[in-house]
Amino acid sequence: MTPDRPDDRPEPIFNAPWPALLAAVSILGPHLILSGASDATIYQLALVPARVLAGDPIGLVTCLFVHGGWLHALMNSVFALAFGAPVARFLGLGARGGALFVLFYIVSGVFAGLGYAAIHPASVTPLVGASGAVAGLMGAAARLMDRPGRLSSPFAPRAASMALGWLIVNVVMALVGGFPGFGTGAIAWEAHLFGFAAGALLISPVSRLAQRAETH
CATH of the domain at 139: 1.20.1540.10
Cross-strand pairs, 127: 47
Q: What is the mean pLDDT of residues 149-163?
A: 94
Number of domains in the chain: 1
- Residue 96, number of CB atoms within 10 A of its CB: 13
Domain that holds residue 57: 15-209
CA distance 203 to 216: 14
Q: What is the pLDDT of residue 187?
A: 82
Question: What pLDDT does 186 receive?
Answer: 67
Which stretch of 1-5, 28-32, 44-48 has the lowest confidence by average pLDDT? 1-5
* pLDDT confidence of residue 28: 97
- Asked if 133 and 112 count as a contact pair (C-beta separation under 8 A), the reply is yes
- Residue 5 included in any domain: no
In a domain, 58, yes or no: yes
pTM above 0.85, yes or no: yes
In a domain, 57, yes or no: yes
* pLDDT tens-digit readout, 92-139: 999 999 999 999 999 999 999 999 999 999 999 999 999 999 999 999
pLDDT of residue 148: 82
Cα 58 to chain center, whole Å? 18
Query: In this structure, is residue 214 part of a structural domain?
Result: no
pLDDT, residue 198, reads 98
What SS3 state is found at 191? helix
Is 70 exceeded by the pLDDT of residue 8? no
- 183 φ/ψ sector (left φ>0, alpha ψ -120 to 50, else beta): left
- Whether the CB-CB separation of 130 and 67 falls below 8 Å is answered with yes
